[in-house]
Structure 1
Amino acid sequence: MTIGARVRGWFERTGSEALGWTLVVLGILMLVMPGPGLLGMFGGIVLLARHYTWADRLVDPLEAKAMEAAQYGVATIPRILVSVLGIIWVGAVGLVWFLSPQIPEFEILGVGFGPELPAAGWVGAVGIWFSDLIALVLLVYSIRRWR
């Protein structure tokens, strides 16, 4: 048995499950931090569907809803323009996070913020820009598929 076959076998049995759970946990974290949280969670559930029936039952309805939402989002030119403006806005937010300006100090529910942005700097900016790139790719895909 070759090394490639062993690695493939390990990934099919153990690696895909470990990666699936990792993506689900990272997706949950990315819901409140910069990053594509919902896509990470969905990717994790797709991988877990190979091992768990509960995950397999979630994949088809989630995929159907995602396709329905994508088709709805490109049904008219104004919706496409709003999506493009949103992509530009998120890119600008990434630039602000990259530049990491000083902000006033404030508190929400006992959690203090400032004088720096949470996850400020290049790490936060890259996460935001990665989300923006995914949104752009999905918009182009949706336009090509349904328009």
Structure 2
Amino acid sequence: MGLGRPVKRVAVVAAGAALLVVGVLLLVLPGPGLLLVLAGLVVLAGEFPALERYVDPVRDRAMKAAEDSASSPLRVAGSVTAGLLLIAAGVTWGLVRSLPFGGWGAGSSLILSGLVLLALLGWSCRRVRAKRAAGGR
């Protein structure tokens, strides 16, 4: 038995745990918290089958939250505004070093958060549009 399996398991557990922790943090911060919690659970359930029982309930709530985020033009506009503000804040934090935690470390994470938010919003809008076209509401 080689070293590959234990190393792979540690990497998978670390990645799953990181997704789960960031997802939990994003439940109270702006961002796709439930989707990251779901991703973390899916990754960890591959190594810990007992976690599989949590995947479906979280998947249902995450998909409902994604659909709710794209359910009205006002919510979409608010989410687009939040994403653009995160990107603008990231550029500002990257350029203005006198800000607390100023620099591209904090700035790039804000920019990435804004881009992820916009990408997930686009996915949610397509999902809602497809569901409406299929006759579901």
TM-score > 0.5, shorter chain as reference? yes
Paired position in structure 1 for 2:123: 141
Query: Which amino acid in 1 is paired with 2:108?
Result: V
Which structure dedicates a bigger proportion of its chain to strand?
1
Q: Is the 8 A contact 1:100 1:121 kept in 2?
A: yes
Q: Distance in 2 between matches of 1:66 and 1:8?
A: 31
Paired position in structure 2 for 1:105: none
Secondary structure of the residue that 2:47 maps to in structure 1? coil
Unaligned 5+ runs, structure 2: 130-137
Paired position in structure 1 for 2:12: 16
Deviation at 1:143, TM superposition (A): 0.9
Q: Is the 8 A contact 1:24 1:44 kept in 2?
A: yes
**Are residues 66 and 22 of structure 1, via their aligned partners in 2, closer, same or farther at CA, if it must alter by over 3 Å?**
closer
Q: Distance in 2 between matches of 1:125 and 1:71?
A: 29
Deviation at 1:52, TM superposition (A): 2.0
Paired position in structure 2 for 1:128: 110
Deviation at 1:43, TM superposition (A): 2.8
Paired position in structure 1 for 2:134: none
Deviation at 1:29, TM superposition (A): 9.6
What's the % identity of the aligned pairs? 31
**Are residues 62 and 121 of structure 1, via their aligned partners in 2, closer, same or farther at CA, if it must alter by over 3 Å?**
same
TM, length-normalised to structure 1 = 0.67
**Are residues 41 and 145 of structure 1, via their aligned partners in 2, closer, same or farther at CA, if it must alter by over 3 Å?**
closer
Deviation at 1:36, TM superposition (A): 6.0
**Are residues 35 and 43 of structure 1, via their aligned partners in 2, closer, same or farther at CA, if it must alter by over 3 Å?**
farther
- Is the aligned partner of 1:81 residue 2:77? yes
Q: Distance in 2 between matches of 1:29 and 1:73?
A: 18
Q: Distance in 2 between matches of 1:73 and 1:8?
A: 40
Q: How many residues align?
A: 124
Unaligned 5+ runs, structure 1: 1-5, 103-115
Q: Distance in 2 between matches of 1:78 and 1:29?
A: 26
Superposed CA RMSD in Å reads: 3.2
Deviation at 1:83, TM superposition (A): 1.1
1:29-44 aligned at under 5 Å gives the runs 38=33, 40-44=36-40
Which structure dedicates a bigger proportion of its chain to helix?
2
Secondary structure of the residue that 2:92 maps to in structure 1? helix
Paired position in structure 2 for 1:91: 87
Secondary structure of the residue that 1:117 maps to in structure 2? coil
Paired position in structure 2 for 1:66: 62
TM, length-normalised to structure 2 = 0.71
